[in-house]
Amino acid sequence: MTYEGLRLRLSGYWRRGFANLRQKRLLGKDFTIISNNCWGGMIYESYNLPKNSPTIGLFFFADDYICFLQNLRDFTSAPLEFISPEKSKWKERPELTGDKRFGNYPIGQLSIGGGRTIELFFLHYHSEAEAKEKWERRCKRINWKRLLVKFNDQNGATQDNVDAFLRMSYEKLFFTCKEWNGMTSECFIISQPSCYSVVTASHEPFGKSHYLDITHKINSLYQ
């Protein structure tokens, strides 16, 4: 087994093995996490809770994610459609051209007024039917009063994206492995192996870490 494989396995044991213990520290269990990658699903697993968010097991490119957050109610009410990989506006991005998995999972598309269209990459889904059923079911679970939004520096994030995210009024977190202009107390620099130029979901914190206490952040939604 590789070092990375061992790290992921141990992280999974730590995340799931102490989930019920972490759950006891929560002030509430009906919160919603909106995330640009798989981190949200990992957080629900770390507390052994139902996934009250549609952004589970998928990822966005940064421009689309910011647009999604700026129009969250509209996009989560819009009909989910699907496109072929060849029709994706992001198909030439190195994050996709260098990934053998591209083309083997559903790609969703949401459109709202003003010609605003975004794409969702359902990385951990086996079919369009599964992606559509879970997306629509979980959109209905969103708790608009207990909302935590997370962004990171993956998938083409720019300074403009970071600035736009930090201006939003949500309770939020931003994870990165480098300095950006205008960083606030909501921003956390996460150590990464030198082979990574961005933070990956599996390196983003859960539970209590030396970066922050996620339980404390979630509990702030109830105070």
The strand pairing partners of 54, in sequence order, are: none
Domain hosting 25: range is 10-222
- 2 inside domain: no
Quick check: helix, strand or coil at residue 156? coil
* E strand map for the chain: 32-35, 81-83, 107-112, 116-121, 147-152, 171-176, 187-189
Q: Is 57 left (phi over 0), alpha (psi -120 to 50) or beta?
A: left
Joined tokens for residue 30: 């009906």
**Residue 163 belongs to a domain:** yes
pLDDT tens-digit readout, 41-54: 999 999 999 999 99
Task: Determine how β-strand 171-176 pairs with β-strand 116-121.
Answer: unpaired
Q: Name the pTM for this structure.
A: 0.94
pLDDT for 43: 97
Q: How many domains does the chain have?
A: 1
Give me the chain's average pLDDT, please.
95
In a domain, 121, yes or no: yes
- Residue with the larger pLDDT of the pair 116 and 3: 116
Question: With contact defined as beta carbons under 8 Å apart, do 76 and 44 qualify?
Answer: no
| Within a domain: 128 | yes
Q: Does 92 map to a domain? A: yes
- Number of helices and strands in the chain (H, E): 9, 7
* pLDDT at residue number 10: 79
131, 125 contact by CB (below 8 A): yes
- pLDDT grade for 3, boundaries at 50, 70 and 90: low
Q: Encode pLDDT of 191-220 as tens digits.
A: 988 878 999 888 999 999 999 999 999 999
Residues 17 and 131 sit within 8 Å (Cβ to Cβ): no
pLDDT tens readout for residues 118-167: 999 999 999 999 999 999 999 999 999 999 999 999 999 999 999 999 99
Does residue 1 belong to any structural domain of this protein? no
Q: Which pLDDT belongs to residue 142?
A: 98
Q: 3 in a domain, yes or no?
A: no
- pLDDT (tens digit per residue) in 22-40: 999 999 999 999 999 999 9
